[in-house]
């Protein structure tokens, strides 16, 4: 191996590799999308819009400044699809890797991969891991493609039906949130399918699986053999279940009589739509109801769900279900006077709890600052619009109350940065930028300030 190259790679920390890799992919995508061949009308897109769209695709966000179907040519759409497919696989492998790298104990199988990948100093384990992610992705997207084909071909004919089935299956599994239904009504997402169980359950199933994360899916696939689930998987499944159930109840309770959302639907469509809208903030970004017409309380609750997002090493964003679960357990433990955070007969170590709290506080800080700046650059009537946009971008969710397509130049730049920060995590970016301090050879004496 080249000595110089080796030295350079060795100098980059894992956070720096992540940041540079993502930035390079986004810039390449932005270049392609700004070519005349990428647009429907042959006019090159302004670079900021191309950059915004590429960032949104690579980061699996799904916020769009221009309507995808009516603005981009088939070439442009394929570029976008490839970007979010690369983004999805990249994030899953990177995140899984990164988790293994910092020495997380996940399970016997994963520990074997870890040992192979890093101790044997060959690339066998790495290849296997990437292969596993790719195969899993293709299998699940393939199943989604077949089901959606059965639904879309009768509606749109063979060519468009197959194309739509592919695009939306890939978009859904990767929690990308991009759709091609702008032909029907610009930026309308899945509103036309509000009462369609096949489309709702297939797309919902795809992005929910994608949001569980590679490790969880792998454990579930192997459960018939191993008969055991890790604490990580138990937390992911429990918390995801709770969020879906609570979300559905809250949406049903608040929106039941709202004529612009659930009000005029029959009860079974009310159930389907509220179920879908309790799934989609996990960070899918598809919607079957008009968000701008929801009551503020529902939107506010959706903010919370988007902020939490999906699970680690997945195609979803947010602070993650396990982070929320750990925090809730820590707060509950502190209230009950317990020393340790205990769940499922396991103890979560201090530094994990600490990390969960730090990630959350750092994320809240970013969201608050961006929201504040957005109220200055966009001057929206209702601050909720700006907050919703920010949390959606940061949680890579992609739901919007309608601000995205009206963003000013400053607003577009701000949201582009937010999508990037949200995808990689504010701590990862900060770690990539900051010079790591050496531990001092001595310890300072302890002193306790009063807290709270």
Least distance to its own copies, CB of residue 254, Å: 7
Stretch that binds K ion, among 64-72, 90-98, 134-142, 170-178 (CB under 5 A): 170-178
Q: Which is nearer to its own copies, 202 or 315 (CB)?
A: 315
Q: Residue 427 touches which of its own copies, K ion, none (CB < 5 to 8 A by kind)? A: its own copies
CA angle 373, 323, 290 (to 5 degrees): 55
Q: Residue 75 touches which of K ion, its own copies, none (CB < 5 to 8 A by kind)? A: none
Closest by CA position to 16, among listed 133, 128, 94: 94
Binding mask 37-66 for K ion (x = CB under 5 A): -------------------------x----
Tell me if residue 246 falls in helix, strand or coil.
Answer: helix
Q: Is residue 101 near its own copies by the rule CB under 8 A?
A: no
What is the Cα–Cα distance from 169 to 180, expressed in whole angstroms? 12
What is the Cα–Cα distance from 203 to 192, expressed in whole angstroms? 14
Contacts of 272 (CB under 8 A, 6+ apart): 194, 195, 197, 200
Query: CA torsion sign, 383 to 365 to 434 to 31?
Result: negative
Q: Is residue 447 near its own copies by the rule CB under 8 A?
A: yes
What is the Cα–Cα distance from 263 to 261, expressed in whole angstroms? 6
| Near its own copies in 248-267, by CB under 8 A | 254
- For residues 317 and 60, is the Cβ–Cβ distance under 8 A? yes
Q: How many CB atoms lie within 10 A of CB 179?
A: 25
Stretch that binds its own copies, among 45-53, 137-145, 152-160, 368-376 (CB under 8 A): 368-376
Total residues contacting its own copies (rule CB under 8 A)?
87
CA torsion 221-224-227-228 (nearest 10°) is 10
Q: Which is nearer to its own copies, 69 or 99 (CB)?
A: 99
Least distance to K ion, CB of residue 87, Å: 10
Q: Is residue 213 near K ion by the rule CB under 5 A?
A: no
Q: Residue 375 touches which of its own copies, K ion, none (CB < 5 to 8 A by kind)? A: its own copies
Binding mask 293-312 for its own copies (x = CB under 8 A): --xxx--xx--x-------x
Q: Which is nearer to K ion, 125 or 285 (CB)?
A: 285
* Residue position matching structure tokens 């988790």: 99
Among 25, 85, 175, 314, the residue binding K ion under the rule CB under 5 A is 175
What is the Cα–Cα distance from 167 to 206, expressed in whole angstroms? 13
Q: Which is nearer to K ion, 175 or 363 (CB)?
A: 175
What is the Cα–Cα distance from 266 to 247, expressed in whole angstroms? 20
Least distance to K ion, CB of residue 392, Å: 8
Q: Residue 285 touches which of its own copies, K ion, none (CB < 5 to 8 A by kind)? A: K ion
What is the Cα–Cα distance from 47 to 187, expressed in whole angstroms? 21
Stretch that binds its own copies, among 36-44, 72-80, 187-195, 291-299 (CB under 8 A): 291-299
Binding mask 311-330 for its own copies (x = CB under 8 A): -xx-----xx-xx-xxx--x
What is the Cα–Cα distance from 209 to 202, expressed in whole angstroms? 11
Stretch that binds its own copies, among 82-90, 123-131, 194-202, 355-363 (CB under 8 A): 355-363
Query: Which two three-digit tokens encode residue 15?
Result: 């956070």
């Amino acid at each position: 191996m080249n000595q110089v190259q080796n030295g350079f790679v060795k100098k980059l920390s894992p956070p720096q590799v992540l940041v540079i890799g993502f930035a390079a992919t986004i810039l390449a995508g932005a270049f392609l999308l700004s070519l005349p061949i990428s647009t429907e009308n042959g006019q090159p897109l302004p670079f900021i819009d191309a950059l915004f769209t590429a960032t949104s695709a690579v980061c699996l966000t799904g916020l769009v400044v221009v309507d995808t179907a009516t603005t981009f040519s088939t070439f442009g759409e394929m570029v976008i699809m490839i970007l979010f497919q690369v983004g999805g696989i990249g994030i899953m492998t990177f995140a899984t890797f990164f988790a293994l790298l910092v020495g997380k104990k996940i399970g016997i199988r994963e520990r074997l991969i870890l040992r192979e990948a890093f101790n044997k100093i060959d690339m066998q384990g790495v290849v296997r891991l990437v292969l596993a992610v790719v195969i899993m992705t293709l299998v699940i997207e393939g199943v989604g493609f077949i089901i959606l084909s059965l639904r879309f071909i009768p509606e749109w004919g063979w060519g468009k039906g197959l194309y739509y089935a592919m695009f939306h299956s890939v978009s859904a599994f990767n929690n990308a949130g991009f759709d091609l239904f702008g032909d029907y009504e610009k930026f309308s997402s899945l509103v036309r399918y509000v009462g369609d169980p096949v489309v709702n359950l297939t797309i919902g199933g795809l992005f929910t699986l994608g949001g569980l994360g590679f490790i969880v899916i792998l454990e579930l696939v192997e459960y018939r053999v191993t008969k055991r689930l890790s604490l990580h998987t138990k937390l992911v499944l429990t918390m995801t279940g709770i969020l879906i159930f609570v979300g559905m109840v809250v949406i049903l309770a608040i929106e039941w009589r709202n004529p612009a959302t659930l009000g005029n639907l029959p009860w079974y469509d009310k159930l389907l739509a509220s179920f879908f809208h309790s799934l989609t903030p996990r960070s899918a970004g598809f919607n079957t109801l008009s968000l701008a017409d929801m009551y503020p309380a529902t939107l506010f609750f959706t903010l919370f769900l988007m902020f939490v997002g999906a699970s680690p090493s997945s195609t979803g964003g947010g602070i993650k279900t396990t982070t929320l679960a750990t925090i809730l357990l820590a707060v509950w433990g502190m209230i009950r006077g317990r020393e340790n955070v205990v769940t499922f007969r396991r103890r979560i170590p201090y530094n994990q709890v600490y990390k969960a709290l730090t990630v959350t506080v750092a994320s809240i800080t970013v969201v608050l600052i961006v929201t504040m700046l957005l109220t200055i650059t966009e001057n929206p009537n209702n601050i909720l619009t700006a907050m919703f946009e920010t949390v959606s971008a940061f949680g890579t969710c992609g739901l919007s109350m309608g601000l995205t397509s009206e963003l000013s130049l400053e607003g577009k730049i701000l949201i582009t940065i937010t999508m990037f920060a949200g995808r990689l995590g504010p701590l990862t970016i900060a770690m990539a930028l900051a010079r790591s301090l050496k531990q001092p050879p001595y310890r300072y004496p302890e002193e306790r300030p009063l807290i709270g």
